[in-house]
Amino acid sequence: MSTANAGSGVALWRQVADGIERSIASGTFSHGEKLPGENEIAEIYRVNRHTVRRALATLAERGLVRAERGSGTYVETARLAYPLRSRTRFSEIVGAGGREPRGQLISASDDVATPHLAKLLGLKAAAPLVRIVALRLADRTPICVGTTWLPADRFPNAGQVYERVRSMTKVLAHFDVRDYRRASTRVSAGIVEAADAARLDLALGRPVLIVDSTDVDASDKPLLTTHARFAAERVEFLVENS
Amino acid sequence: MSTANAGSGVALWRQVADGIERSIASGTFSHGEKLPGENEIAEIYRVNRHTVRRALATLAERGLVRAERGSGTYVETARLAYPLRSRTRFSEIVGAGGREPRGQLISASDDVATPHLAKLLGLKAAAPLVRIVALRLADRTPICVGTTWLPADRFPNAGQVYERVRSMTKVLAHFDVRDYRRASTRVSAGIVEAADAARLDLALGRPVLIVDSTDVDASDKPLLTTHARFAAERVEFLVENS
DNA sequence: CTAAGTTGTATATGATACTAGACAACTGGG
DNA sequence: CCCAGTTGTCTAGTATCATATACAACTTAG
């Protein structure tokens, strides 16, 4: 870094890669289209051609672009549209996009409610909870990692049930919860944690969309609360206002 | 980088800084609380103490923590809660948090609708538009940069009006739009662009929350569409499901 | 006052990141 | 075929990142 980039802590090639990725995501370059030549990109970002090559190499490795020697580099991509609404079911959303939804249990354990969790779930502090960490995929692409807490009184052994049915909707159905809805949803963003990066097959330093939500039953009684981390590069949330 | 960190493109000190910031944001360490000692943090993240010091230095520079020699490093922070609802008014949201909302015109220019913009606004392609780029602040802290497009037919010279009234609600009122509401909201995340980073006083490589939204009047006719970039470290979206 | 624990400063060394320039290998159009 | 434009490979030099070690300056508990 002999020129600008003054200590941002993010390598130049990474900034270029993110810039190109954004151009693709925003539709400046779309599927099948040819990117500008490496020399031209280098001029645009005012960096060395080698830096551009490194950026393109990482994008190619992730399957976003494909380089053809002597010809050019071409776009190869698409994002999952994810509606945030009152009835949010991962499997329905993914299925609607013509892809196969999958759930995968990472861990299930007993836990006790922190004051914060207790408030969200309408329980007393230190109430017994079941904590489920699960990875959700569309086809073979990891979409998000979610940590879910349920009251242990109402949903004993929810972890074992989830492992078998691989769907939170089905877990609730197993406990005779026929219908439920999203009571609150908070969206924020951050940088992926190391453990999540591995689960999501995401490079360190990549952005994640963070969704904290609580679901309630027909009589507005809290059922579960979830802290989910989505690979930002693979989804786009649709907020539907009524 | 002699050990791990294998080519993520994000410097170790930056990962540590982000990790600590997340711990603060998630409430692991709250306002006024003392962080673990530099040596202890170095052990936790398995990095050198100097790397931790650099991470803490950047957090201190941004005002998130304060170091006291001989004693320790202490937390100093808070985030803006930003509801995403049908009636979303920046000034009302910020005012409700007891802070003073401000708008600042960055640029206003004539533009023509791309096919995408035309569809959003219910216009014919290449229809004349007014394009307004504005910075929004709470007290003296930049919160977001938004690019707004309005039909030039209905809102001539909207840019000049905005410069005077510094509020999109007031611009619409100037053109006799008494009430309007959010018709659609899309939320995604990415890494801040260089130009936005300067406006938002944000370091390069930091995450931004991206909100694309369209507002309509009482008869569901599109009024304007906005592409806004929020400093992720300063806001948290509240999605309210009905 | 003392000792343990804290942040601040300095020097040295190896590994990466970025730049610079040159050339090879290949593609597509004239 | 030839040439302009493209991606692929190589060699160097400089700046930054990260580690290691040592010690100074300060705070707090005892």
Chain B residue with CA closest to A205: the answer is: B10
**pLDDT tens across A68-108, in order?**
888 889 988 667 778 888 887 888 888 776 677 888 888 88
- Of B18, B207, B237, which is closest to A187 when you measure between CB atoms? B237
In this prediction, residue B1 carries a pLDDT of 37
Q: Are strands A180-191 and A101-112 parallel, antiparallel or unpaired?
A: unpaired
Nucleotide with smallest C1' distance to residue A48 CA? C19
- Residues of A within 8 A of B5 (CB-CB) are 204
Q: Compute the average pLDDT of residues B93-120.
A: 85
Q: How much is the pLDDT for B241?
A: 60
Q: What is the pLDDT of residue A2?
A: 37
Q: Is the pLDDT of residue B5 over 70?
A: no
Going B40 to B43 to B45 to B47, the CA torsion angle's sign is positive
- Strand D contact residues in chain B (28-57), C-beta within 7 Å: 46-51, 54
Task: Answer for the pair B167, B200: CB distance below 8 angstroms, yes or no.
Answer: no
Ranges A157-171, B89-103, B124-138: which has the least confidence: B89-103
Nearest CA in chain B to A17: B9
Q: 3-class SS at B193?
A: coil
CA distance A164 to chain B (A): 30
| Predicted local distance difference test score (pLDDT) of residue B2 | 37
Say which CATH architecture domain A12-75 belongs to.
Orthogonal Bundle (1.10)
What is the domain partition of chain B in residue ranges? 12-75, 80-239
Residue B171's pLDDT is what?
93
| CA nearest to B16, candidates B49, B2, B27, A209 | B49
Distance A137 CA to D20 C1' (A): 43
| Residues B187, A187: C-beta atoms closer than 8 Å | yes
Return residues 176-205 of A near B (CB < 8 Å).
181-191, 193, 203-205
DSSP 3-state of A55: helix
Task: Pick A80-239's CATH classification: 3.40.50.1980, 3.40.1410.10, 3.40.50.2300, 3.30.300.30.
Answer: 3.40.1410.10
Residue A5 scores a pLDDT above 80: no
For residue A11, the chain B residues in CB contact (below 8 A) are: 9-11
Q: Does A10 contact chain B (CB < 8 Å)?
A: yes
Q: Return the percentage of chain A with pLDDT > 90, whole number.
A: 35
Question: Which of A187-191, A214-218, B206-210: highest mean pLDDT?
Answer: A214-218
H or E segment and range at residue B16: helix B12-25
Protein residue with the closest CA to the C1' atom of nucleotide D28: B71
**Strand C reaches within 7 A of the A1 CB:** yes
Across A21-35, A42-56, A62-76, A93-107, the highest mean pLDDT is recorded for: A42-56
Stretch A185-197: mean pLDDT: 86
Q: Give the DSSP letter of residue B192.
A: P
Nucleotides of C under 7 A from a protein CB: 5-11, 14-21, 25-28
Distances (CA, A) of B47 to B54, B71, B171: 11, 22, 52
pLDDT of A1 > 50? The answer is: no
Rg (C-alpha) for chain B, rounded Å, is: 21
Q: How confident is the model at residue A27 (pLDDT cuts 50, 70, 90)?
A: low
